[in-house]
């Protein structure tokens, strides 16, 4: 399946809930607003993914909110893995419940886990995410590694004057462990003055972060790149890798291979687009109707996202769009 600019679209980011037990300040700088009480059901999720796979989607990433808050998350993974044509099912999590669920998820067929970790200091971690849960999250990371999720990806949003002094400590995690540590640029969420001020005060570009790690060597093999947009590097003699995701400073739209579906059942062609397509309404029809809608989503993908000096993501929190 190709969009109107010739990009192959084979990757679906599927949010299974807006609910989250963390309150990360960069996710919702305006504070959390409403949470949808009626996310797509297991049956609805399965029907949407089947329609997407029929059009050429082969890679699925489950997001949120916090996807492990879904009581049926293991059943969701089982159902998606069983769909003919699905090549890879992965998940992004804050790891709060990962220690208890990692083995069941692995047994269900989950291939990989990306784990958000924004500080290696317990008190600072609690300040960023609003929950004193560092020890539980770290236990989840260790359990995920033990059950065999590989490569384990650690995502850190770097914030100026908050955690940017931990760049080297995060990078060192990749030396002795076969982990992929990824530095993610802050994105401009919200339209209030407070949200704009938060972004202006705390944004750190990937270029600045990379300059603090002069020993990095680029990694060019496809196997290391995976399905995402990260630019991959490695420290000398390191077992793992370091990645940079540069949505704000250096867009990667030319190689975008994804569409998104929110927990509310809204399909989006771009993370930064404010218009969506009502998937839930199409589910009430036959599979052909769903496929037509998803084709329309793909055909609506812009050549480049609108992110710039004046653009803000119109959402109460990234959790609303499954960022």
Q: Domain residue spans in the chain?
A: 11-320
Contact status, residue 58 vs residue 10, Cβ threshold 8 Å: yes
Residue 36 clears pLDDT 70, i.e. is over it:
no
Largest CA distance in the chain: 55
pLDDT band at 250; cut points 50, 70, 90: confident
pTM value is: 0.92
pLDDT of residue 225: 46
Helices 122-129/134-147 angle, 10° precision: 100
Helices 73-81/98-108 angle, 10° precision: 20
In tens, the pLDDT along 45-93 reads: 999 999 999 999 999 999 999 999 999 999 999 999 999 999 999 999 9
Contact status, residue 118 vs residue 24, Cβ threshold 8 Å: yes
Residue 223 clears pLDDT 70, i.e. is over it:
no
Residue 287 clears pLDDT 90, i.e. is over it:
no
pLDDT of residue 80: 98
Q: Does domain 11-320 have CATH number 3.20.20.70?
A: yes
In tens, the pLDDT along 114-156 reads: 999 999 999 999 999 999 999 999 999 999 999 999 999 999 9
pLDDT band at 310; cut points 50, 70, 90: low
């Amino acid at each position: 399946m190709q969009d109107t600019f010739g990009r192959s679209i084979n990757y679906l980011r599927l949010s299974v809930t807006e609910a989250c037990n963390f309150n990360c300040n960069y996710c919702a700088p305006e504070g959390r607003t409403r949470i949808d009480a009626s996310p797509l059901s297991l049956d609805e999720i399965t029907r949407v993914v089947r329609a997407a796979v029929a059009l050429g989607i082969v890679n699925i990433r489950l997001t949120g909110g916090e996807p492990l808050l879904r009581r049926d998350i293991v059943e969701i993974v089982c159902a998606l893995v069983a769909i003919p044509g699905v090549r890879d099912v992965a998940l992004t999590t804050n790891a709060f419940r990962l220690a208890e669920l990692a083995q069941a998820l692995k047994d269900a067929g989950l291939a990989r886990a990306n784990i958000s970790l924004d500080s290696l200091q317990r008190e600072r971690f609690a300040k960023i995410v609003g929950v004193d849960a560092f020890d539980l999250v770290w236990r989840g990371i260790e359990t995920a590694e033990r059950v065999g999720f590989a490569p384990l990806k650690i995502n850190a949003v770097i914030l100026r004057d908050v955690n940017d002094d931990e760049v080297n400590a995060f990078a060192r995690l990749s030396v002795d462990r076969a982990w992929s540590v990824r530095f993610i640029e802050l994105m401009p969420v919200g339209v209030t003055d407070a949200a704009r001020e938060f972004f202006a005060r705390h944004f750190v570009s990937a270029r600045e972060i990379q300059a603090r790690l002069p020993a990095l060597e680029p990694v060019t093999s496809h196997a290391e790149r995976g399905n995402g947009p990260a630019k991959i590097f490695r420290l000398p003699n390191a077992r793992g890798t370091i990645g940079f995701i540069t949505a704000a400073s250096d867009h990667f739209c030319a190689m975008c291979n994804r569409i998104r579906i929110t927990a509310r059942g809204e399909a989006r062609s771009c993370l930064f687009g404010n218009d969506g397509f009502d998937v839930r309404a199409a589910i009430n029809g036959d599979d052909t109707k769903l496929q037509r809608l998803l084709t329309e989503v793909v055909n609506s993908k812009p050549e480049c996202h609108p992110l710039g000096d004046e653009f803000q993501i119109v959402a109460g929190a990234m959790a609303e769009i499954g960022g």
